[in-house]
Every structure is written in structure tokens, then in C-alpha cells.
Amino acid sequence: QRGIEVLGSVPLIKGEKLFTGDNFGIGISLTRYFKRENYTFVGVEYEQQNMPYRSYNVKLKDALLQVGYMHPVLSDRGKNVFLYGGISVLGGYEQLNEDKRLLPDGATLLDRSRFVYGGAVHGSVEVFLTDRILFLIKAQGRFLFGTDVHRFRPVVSAGLRLNF
């Protein structure tokens, strides 16, 4: 069985409120199930965060490709609610401050836009709403290398999956 999922996400930033202005992410994934409710996925995600600097926000934008595996940890007897754990590898491009090195106060941004790569650990709760539609709540801890900022980036997301 295969599926397509659409997710909206929020990055968890230390010292920031959960839902703030321009901190968000969106993603779409293709999934392929195996025999025992485990599955693989391939997905693309766009994520945007504001990093405060004095009275100015430095925008951090990521476009990432992710390939991973999810394994069921728990489920109810009717197999309607699942708790999954998983891992993935990811890579993509990170853009800082729209490639502008000079900040409004005259300071020079030393961090650069660049390609990033890494891995992630996942946890999710997946609930069947109908035979083909699932509601998803996911938590993800990303470890990114090649970046000049925040190597560990936790994210929470919610969305829907349509199985076909």
C-alpha cells in the first residue's frame, strides 16, 4: 500500500513562543507500507525561521529532501491508532538572510547560505479517520551538518495522509 501525506510544521526554538509569525514549515511525502505496518518515506520540506538579532530578524530558510523508515512501536487492538518511531537521512539547501551579508545596523553576517546534510529521529501518532485517511502528529529531531547555525533542530508537525 502507498500513501501521500501533507504536513504543516512548527520549529521549536529555544526561548521563542511556539507559534510566532514567520516560523513555519510545510512538507509533502510519499510513503510505501510493508507487511507489518512499517513503512518507508520520501519527502520534501520547506522550513522558515526568524532568528532575532537586536531589533532585526535574520531569516533562516531550509529546503530539505528526506528519506526514512518508520517502525510501529504500539497500536490499539483494532489497529486504528499507531505510535511509530523512525530514522531518516536528509539533505538540502539553507539560505540565511536572503543571502544579504550586511545587516541594517551595518554589522556583517558571518554565517553563510550553504548545502546541509544530516539525519533525524522521528516519533509519530497516526490515527485512522477512515479506511484510507489518517491524521498524523509527528515530532522530529534533526541533526544538520554543514550549517553555521543550530545543528540540532526539533520540529513538531501535523497533517493528513491518504493511502491508495
Query: What's the whole-number mean pLDDT along residues 42-58?
Result: 90
Quick: pLDDT tens for 147-160: 988 899 999 999 99
Domain that holds residue 43: 2-163
Domain count, the chain: 1
The answer to whether the CB of 136 falls within 8 A of the CB of 125 is yes
15, pLDDT greater than 70:
no
Q: What is the pLDDT of residues 83-115, one digit of tens each?
A: 999 999 999 999 999 888 888 888 888 888 999
| Angstrom distance (rounded) from CA 159 to CA 94 | 24
CATH of the domain at 76: 2.40.160.20
